[in-house]
Structure 1
Amino acid sequence: MRKTTRSAFAAACAVLAVTAAACGTTSENSGAAQPQDPQAACGGPDGQYTIGMSQANLAEPYRVRMDDDIRKAAERVPQFKDVQFADAAKDNAKQVSDVESFLTKQVDLLMISPNEAAPLTDIVRRAYNSGTPVVLLDRKVNGDAFTTYVGVDNEAIGRQAGEYFKNVLFPDGGKILEIKGLSGSTPAHERHDGFMQGIAGSKIEIIGADDGGWERAEGQEKMDALLKAHPDAQAVYSHNDPMAEGAYLAAQAAGKADQLKFVGIDGLPIEAGGIKAVEQGRLQATFLNPTGGEEAVEAAKKILVDCQPPEKHQTLPTELITKENAGEVYARLNQG
């Protein structure tokens, strides 16, 4: 394992609180990103490497799948002797502590899917400026102090969803409810902003919205209240499939499921995922949001084994999934 400036950084941080201002060197605490030497972290194909993966939570099926994808991909890289996983359980302070723990252990590379952007920005910057490569997955932090980001263009997904509502579901206009993701997470803002771009110029109106925290139970609870406040709603745009399924359950309990259309995002190719929900008619559509687990491991291999810098932003592909193509997409994504 490398012994660089981050070793001293990790040792110092181990005994300090999350908010300690004196942790690390001046450059490590600087508000600006300090460019990493692309060769510094690389030990080549003869090395053995430890990776720390800090997950925002494991309450979402999407994040369970992300960890599984990382685990499986890492098993195919013989140099990756150990991938350690931590679950922040939607607690920002715990996630900061998890990252500091990985730094104390002197892992060779960090993978992080931030719970919320702002609370994780400082520790990610400090890790990056200390020389530890940082791979962000699905969610971003503020600024550019990270080695590479792997994920979809969430604003583009939101825009495509808006265009689907405008061009297919409600070409003459409609009244929409929006179930948003966790307010401090970057996809929630981007998927909303993109949606507003997509419905621009139409007669579609968002008559009610609330934060469903990315979870089905919370989405169901918020949808129940929204339906009572807005009984004239015609459809639901949800920032992920579990919240869309929760909204469907709330509408079903109110006897209105057949009167509303539901659209989500994620398209997990599992029995309890969004593709099957589309195929079975609960959702009108979903948009594929790959976990990026395999691509994150490939980026780690480039950095640690191949001595090649990855692209700063790795944008993953998405696609619209409707009842017409759900079966084909499900089979394709489960090949191999």
Structure 2
Amino acid sequence: MRTKRIFGIFITASTLVSLTACSVSTTPGGSDSGGKKAASDGLSIGFSQATQQSPFYVQLRTGAEQAAKKAGAKLNFADAGDDVTKQNNDIQDLITRGVDVLLVNPVDPKGVKAGLAAADAAGIPVVTVDRPVPSGAVAHVGRDNKEMGRLVGAEVVKALGAKGGKIIEIKGDAGGAVARDRSAGFHEAVAANSKIKIVAGPYCDYIRAKAVTAMQDLIQTNPDVKAVYAHNDDMALGALQVLKENNRTDVKVAGVDGLMEAVKSIAADGPYIATALNDPISLGATAVQTALDAQAGKKVSAEVDAGTGLIDTGNAATYSGSTTFALAGKK
């Protein structure tokens, strides 16, 4: 294993205080000795994740941990808690611990620039996962979020029929590429029916509780709503909860990610009609493999597309199972 040169990075005193080892967990097995590792420990991967407040990101971590363990690598994990300042501190902490390669799921693609610059100065390759950055990464592993929005949008158009109607869109995170693309793809698909009107809901950060609160207001101001599209299934399920509480099971609901709770609702032929496959376990595994290839000096693609697909009433039963999300590879 090569020895890396870690350059001193100028940071403020307040930043130094915030760089604490307790922010990072290490898996698999063994104690961490201040970043100094024996050769038998294998490669060390740092994984700085934006948040753990969504089931998708919890499973993304699980997928990465499983893949790292299988490869004989050590995964050092840090949860930024949706705080970009903490994420930059976490990245610096991981660098100080001596990781060989970094996986980054950015809170803010532009705001994480300082952390990426520190990794570059230390000679550590960075691979982003799920959310891309403008620059500073050797590769990005994700899925075509615009295609996801397009697939789900086409299904909603079909469900509404020629009469169209009003659709409420509940958004992910402000300024995020995932939210932007899932919205753009959906808008492109519904543009095929001029009788469809989209009402822009608030950004709910992919969190169900926030979507519940938003939907409670939206259903009052939009009593004529015919469908709800959310940028992930967790928010869509929050909207569905409010619709049911108001006896509005006539309103169609669609989301993205293939959350199993949503898949089973689709299979039950209820108001939930569609989602797009976004298996976080396989995404985490692909990200880890890409990071290991990058660290080994292998040629990696700048954009690694993990693939997607539509889950609707016709195939939802096939995807139903005991996992948290529908698994890729099923038909």
Residue identity in the other structure for 1:279: A
| 3-state SS of paired residue (2:192) | coil
Partner of 1:184: 175
| 3-state SS of paired residue (1:54) | strand
Q: Distance in 2 between matches of 1:168 and 1:144?
A: 40
| 3-state SS of paired residue (2:112) | helix
Contact 2:46 2:99 in 1 (8 A): yes
Matches within 5 A, 1:110-189: 110-128=102-120, 130-141=122-133, 143-189=134-180
1:185 positional shift: 1.9
Contact 2:279 2:327 in 1 (8 A): no
Instruction: Specify whether residues 171 and 138 from structure 1 end up closer, same or farther in structure 2 by C-alpha distance, changes over 3 A only.
Output: farther
Normalization by structure 1: what TM-score?
0.82
Matches within 5 A, 1:157-306: 157-202=148-193, 203-256=195-248, 258-268=249-259, 270=260, 273-280=261-268, 281=270, 283-291=272-280, 292-305=283-296
1:18 positional shift: 5.7
| 3-state SS of paired residue (2:9) | helix
Q: Distance in 2 between matches of 1:89 and 1:228?
A: 32
Identity of aligned residues (%): 31
Partner of 1:25: none
Partner of 2:314: 324
1:74 positional shift: 1.1
Contact 1:157 1:194 in 2 (8 A): yes
Residue identity in the other structure for 1:62: F
Residue identity in the other structure for 2:273: Q
| 3-state SS of paired residue (1:117) | coil
Residue identity in the other structure for 2:156: F
Q: Distance in 2 between matches of 1:254 and 1:206?
A: 21
Q: Distance in 1 between matches of 2:327 and 2:185?
A: 26
Partner of 1:23: none
More deviation, 130-139/240-249:
130-139
Residue identity in the other structure for 1:119: G
Q: Distance in 2 between matches of 1:122 and 1:194?
A: 31
Post-superposition CA distance 1:240-284 (Å, at most 9, x none):
00000000111122221x12110000003x4xx332232233521
Q: Distance in 2 between matches of 1:218 and 1:139?
A: 21
1:290 positional shift: 2.5
Post-superposition CA distance 1:158-204 (Å, at most 9, x none):
12222222234334321000000011321111111121111223121
Gaps of 5+ in 1: 20-44
Normalization by structure 2: what TM-score?
0.83
Contact 1:266 1:274 in 2 (8 A): no
Instruction: Specify whether residues 319 and 169 from structure 1 end up closer, same or farther in structure 2 by C-alpha distance, changes over 3 A only.
Output: farther
Residue identity in the other structure for 2:99: V
Partner of 2:27: none
Contact 2:101 2:292 in 1 (8 A): no
Partner of 2:75: 83
1:2 positional shift: 3.8
Q: Distance in 1 between matches of 2:116 and 2:277?
A: 27
Instruction: Specify whether residues 282 and 201 from structure 1 end up closer, same or farther in structure 2 by C-alpha distance, changes over 3 A only.
Output: closer
Correspondent of 2:327 among 322, 329, 333? 333
Residue identity in the other structure for 1:278: I
| 3-state SS of paired residue (2:124) | coil
Q: Distance in 2 between matches of 1:13 and 1:327?
A: 55
Gaps of 5+ in 2: 17-38
Q: Distance in 1 between matches of 2:300 and 2:54?
A: 28
Instruction: Specify whether residues 304 and 91 from structure 1 end up closer, same or farther in structure 2 by C-alpha distance, changes over 3 A only.
Output: same
Residue identity in the other structure for 2:197: E
| 3-state SS of paired residue (1:70) | helix
